[in-house]
C-alpha cells in the first residue's frame, strides 16, 4: 500500500477549536454557586453528554506533590459534593494528611468546565452505609476484594479476592470499615464557558467571612 495515500497526522500544536456554543454573563448567572452548578449539571444530564457525573479529584501528598484521578459525584447539596471510595487508597491517605482538594468537571460537548476547591471531610457512617447497600452486589464485593492503590502481582489476585469475599460475606455484605464517602465543602467555585477567539467567560465565587459568596469575573 502506498503510504502517500495516508494523510499526515495533525500536529498537536496545530489543533484548534473555536468555542461558540454559549456564554456566561455575570448579570444572568445565579448569585449562589450551588444554583449555578445545578443549572449546568442538569443541562449536562439532559444533553446526555458522556458521563456527566465524572469529575477529577486533585489531592496533595506528604511530599507536597499533587495527584489526580477521576471519580463519580454521587450527591450534592448546600453541605458540599460527595463521592465514595476506599479510605486506604492513595487519595484517602493524602486526604488524611492534607484534608483539602480540588474538583473539576469538564463537559466537552457543552464547552464548559466547573472547578471547586475546599476542605474535605468524611460523610457520616449512616450516609456511607446507605449508599453502600444501594450498590450492585458485585460492586459491594469489589470493595472488599480490591486493596486499592496497592501493588498486586496480577489480575488473578482481584479475581481470587472477589471469590473469597463472595464466600465470606454472601449476598448481603456489610460495608468495609475502610470504604465510605467524602464530602468536599466548597470555599471557591469557578465556572468556565468557552467563547470565540479564546475570550472565554470565567466566573469565580469566593466564600466570604460572613458566609456570603462574592461573584467575580476573571480574565481568561
- How far is Cα of residue 65 from the mean position of the Cα atoms in its chain? 19
Report, in this order, helix, strand and coil percent for the chain, each rounded to 5. 30, 30, 40
* pTM for the whole structure: 0.89
Full DSSP string of 50-116 = S-TTEEEEEEE-TTS-EEEEEEE--EEETTEEEEEEETTSHHHHHHHHS-EEEEEEEEGGGTEEEEE
- For all residues of the chain together, what is the average pLDDT? 93
More confident residue, 11 or 212: 212
Element (H, E) at 44: helix 33-46
pLDDT of amino acid 9: 76
Element (H, E) at 165: helix 155-169
Q: What is the pLDDT of residues 113-132, one digit of tens each?
A: 999 999 999 999 999 999 99
Indicate if the pLDDT at residue 2 is higher than 80.
Answer: no
Say if domain 20-133+175-218 classifies as CATH 3.30.1490.100. Answer: no
Indicate if the pLDDT at residue 46 is higher than 70.
Answer: yes
pLDDT of amino acid 5: 57
Q: What is the pLDDT of residues 70-108, one digit of tens each?
A: 999 999 999 999 999 999 999 999 999 999 999 999 999
d(CA 29, CA 158): 47
Classified as helix, coil or strand, 213 is strand
Q: What is the mean pLDDT of residues 164-188?
A: 96
Please name which of 103, 98, 72, 82 lies closest in space to residue 189, comparing C-alpha atoms.
103
Domain boundary assignment for the chain:
20-133+175-218
Known binding residues are 16-19, 69-74, 84-85, 90-91, 131, 135, 139, 148-149, 192, 198-200, 202
| For the chain, percent of residues with pLDDT exceeding 90 | 85
Known binding residues for substrate are 16-19, 74, 131, 135, 139, 198-200
Sign of the C-alpha dihedral computed for residues 194, 195, 201 and 202 taken in this order: positive
Catalytic residues: 198
pLDDT of amino acid 6: 63
Residue pair 84/129 in contact (Cβ under 8 Å)? The answer is no
Known binding residues for FMN are 69-74, 84-85, 90-91, 148-149, 192, 202
Amino acid at each position: 500500500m502506498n503510504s502517500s495515500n495516508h494523510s499526515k497526522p495533525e500536529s498537536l500544536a496545530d489543533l484548534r477549536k473555536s468555542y461558540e456554543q454559549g456564554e456566561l454573563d455575570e448579570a444572568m448567572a445565579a448569585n449562589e454557586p450551588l444554583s449555578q452548578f445545578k443549572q449546568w449539571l442538569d443541562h449536562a444530564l439532559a444533553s446526555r453528554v458522556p458521563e456527566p457525573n465524572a469529575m477529577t479529584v486533585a489531592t496533595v501528598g506528604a511530599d507536597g506533590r499533587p495527584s489526580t484521578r477521576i471519580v463519580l459525584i454521587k450527591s450534592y447539596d448546600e453541605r458540599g459534593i460527595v463521592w465514595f471510595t476506599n479510605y486506604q487508597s492513595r487519595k484517602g491517605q493524602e486526604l488524611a494528611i492534607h484534608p483539602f482538594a480540588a474538583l473539576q468537571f469538564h463537559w466537552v460537548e457543552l464547552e464548559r468546565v466547573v472547578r471547586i476547591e475546599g476542605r474535605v471531610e468524611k460523610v457520616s457512617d449512616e450516609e456511607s452505609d446507605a449508599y453502600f447497600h444501594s450498590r450492585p452486589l458485585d460492586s459491594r464485593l469489589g470493595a472488599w476484594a480490591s486493596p486499592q492503590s496497592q501493588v498486586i502481582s496480577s489480575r488473578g489476585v482481584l479475581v481470587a479476592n472477589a471469590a473469597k469475599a463472595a464466600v465470606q460475606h454472601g449476598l448481603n455484605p456489610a460495608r468495609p470499615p475502610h470504604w465510605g464517602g467524602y464530602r468536599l465543602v466548597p470555599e471557591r467555585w469557578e465556572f468556565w464557558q468557552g467563547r470565540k477567539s479564546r475570550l472565554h467567560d470565567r466566573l469565580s465565587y469566593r466564600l466570604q467571612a460572613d458566609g456570603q459568596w462574592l461573584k467575580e469575573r476573571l480574565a481568561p
